[in-house]
Amino acid sequence: MRLHWHRHDLRVTDNWGLSAADDVVLPVFVFDDEILQFGSPPRVAFMLDALAALRADYREQGGDLYLAHGDPSAVLPDLATEVGAATLSYTEDYSGLAAERDRVVTEALDSEGITVEGYHDALHHEPGSITTNAGDPYSVYTYFWTKWRNREKADPYDPPEQVVDRPGDALPALADLGFDEPVADIEPAGTGRARERLADFCAGPIYDYADRRDYPADECTSRLSTHLRWGTIGVREVYAATDRAMADAPDADARESVEAFQSQLAWREFYHHVLNFTPEVVTQNYKSYEQAIEWRDDQAEIAAWKAGETGYPIVDAGMRQLREEAYMHNRVRMIVASFLTKDLLADWRHGYAHFREHLVDHNTANDNGGWQWAASTGTDAQPYFRIFNPTTQGERYDPDAAYIHEYVPELAGVSAETIHAWPDLSPSERRDATPDYPDPIVDHGERREQAVTMFKRARGEDPDE
């Protein structure tokens, strides 16, 4: 018999480690306080829902998911010995914290004579398999993408055939794990839901993805990020669906659009490689500057950003979407991240910590990659002098202000034209439009210059040149 230790691979199908060998499997999940202390209400709520769905999927096959609480380095060897398991399999994790946990667990199992097998199941191509010709990890996405795209992808794995019916502990509620109910409405979990999302997306929106993905009111993206984060769907199953969509694409534009989507899947893998090879990015800049960046870190401004009360409508709409749905559209994530770092001159780590707490799809690799990109400190980062203008971004990507109207009720009765002119209006014009929405907390033009100066100093350049 074999134990399969589920962590962020909460599904039965297309799970390499689970189906790797043709033997009897006891699937197990361990609630580990060491890891849970880094959880947040939306993420843990989704995880519990995903575990309930996983358990139901196993039960449908006549098996069960064994649930336990405690330190995995004690729980797993005890369980393996009790049931006579010779092997334990799991899906590899690429963050430093998880790697340390896995090292300790592996040692404990080794000392009991139990073989440990880690599977690179969460990515198509594991860290170290796509490198420069010199064998180094890529720090530029475009080259990584070319190789990633041309590499053959594995087919989805079948579910395991023989699963043990041994339930263990009851599934806890959020409160049992010490978490409050999330404020936001959380995406339902489970493989069934993920497949529904994938099928709906591949039936139409994928063909317009390239043109429409930047428009937050359009809602044409896949919304698979939380499912990919918890592994409620396998990467091979997702890719196979995009391949079928490619084969069915009506024309060259549609094919290009499918490829644009596949390239987003590759960004996810790129950032996981970056995290794997440079785990220090979680707390440090990826790109080093000659001098420390002198972030301003004004606490009142950061608080206004978190509350969605900056007086920049597209920024506030994004921050409110985050609070209400534990999710934010990608283009808007880029805008709010640029605003925090380049308009408020606040350290990206404040934004990363806030996203980590509130995003249901938070994963270290993508979240960190996104923040460091916006802050001009990451791989392939936005050049420090190319600073988003939040007003023109709102005008371009939310021209009718439909997204802003949805998330900022104070602006519901205000025309798109007035909304997109908000920072340029006089205070009395703003009060006439609505007394309820704040004035801009900063002047974008002034802050833009200050940001450029801040980065020039960090680069050791004379800011006046």
Ligand X SMILES: Cc1cc2nc3c(=O)[nH]c(=O)nc-3n(C[C@H](O)[C@H](O)[C@H](O)COP(=O)(O)OP(=O)(O)OC[C@H]3O[C@@H](n4cnc5c(N)ncnc54)[C@H](O)[C@@H]3O)c2cc1C
Q: Which residues bind ligand X (CB under 6 A)?
A: 213, 221-225, 228-229, 264-265, 267-268, 271, 330, 333-334, 337, 355, 359, 361-363, 366-367, 369-371, 374
Residue among 388, 339, 6, 38 at smallest CA distance from 179: 38
Contact 45, 186 (CB under 8 A): yes
Rank residues 20 and 365 by Cβ distance to ligand X and give the closer one: 365
Question: Could you give phi then psi for residue 426, rounded to 5 degrees?
Answer: -80, 160
User: 16: which residues sit within 8 A by CB, 6+ positions away?
Assistant: 91, 119, 120, 121, 154, 157
Q: Which helix (H) or strand (E) holds 162?
A: strand 162-163
Task: Give the three-class secondary structure for 303.
Answer: helix
Rounded to a whole number, what is the distance in angstroms from the first to the last CA of the chain? 70
User: Please, what is the minimum distance in Å from the beta carbon of residue 184 to ligand X?
Assistant: 14
User: Please, what is the minimum distance in Å from the beta carbon of residue 348 to ligand X?
Assistant: 8
Rank residues 87 and 95 by Cβ distance to ligand X and give the closer one: 95
Residue among 230, 177, 320 at smallest CA distance from 46: 230
Rank residues 166 and 223 by Cβ distance to ligand X and give the closer one: 223
Report d(CA 131, CA 273) in Å as an integer. Answer: 10
Contact 274, 365 (CB under 8 A): yes
Considering only CA atoms, give the Rg of the chain: 24
Rank residues 64 and 380 by Cβ distance to ligand X and give the closer one: 380
Task: Give the three-class secondary structure for 168.
Answer: strand
Contact 388, 343 (CB under 8 A): no
Rank residues 92 and 214 by Cβ distance to ligand X and give the closer one: 214
User: Please, what is the minimum distance in Å from the beta carbon of residue 234 to ligand X?
Assistant: 13
User: Please, what is the minimum distance in Å from the beta carbon of residue 81 to ligand X?
Assistant: 38
User: Please, what is the minimum distance in Å from the beta carbon of residue 28 to ligand X?
Assistant: 26
Rank residues 330 and 453 by Cβ distance to ligand X and give the closer one: 330
Which tokens is 129 given? 């398999």
User: Please, what is the minimum distance in Å from the beta carbon of residue 148 to ligand X?
Assistant: 12
Residue 285 DSSP code? -
Residue nearest to ligand X (CB): 370
Rank residues 375 and 404 by Cβ distance to ligand X and give the closer one: 375
User: Please, what is the minimum distance in Å from the beta carbon of residue 375 to ligand X?
Assistant: 9
User: Please, what is the minimum distance in Å from the beta carbon of residue 162 to ligand X?
Assistant: 32
Question: Could you give phi then psi for residue 168, rounded to 5 degrees?
Answer: 70, -145
Which tokens is 396 given? 């371009």
Rank residues 164 and 317 by Cβ distance to ligand X and give the closer one: 317
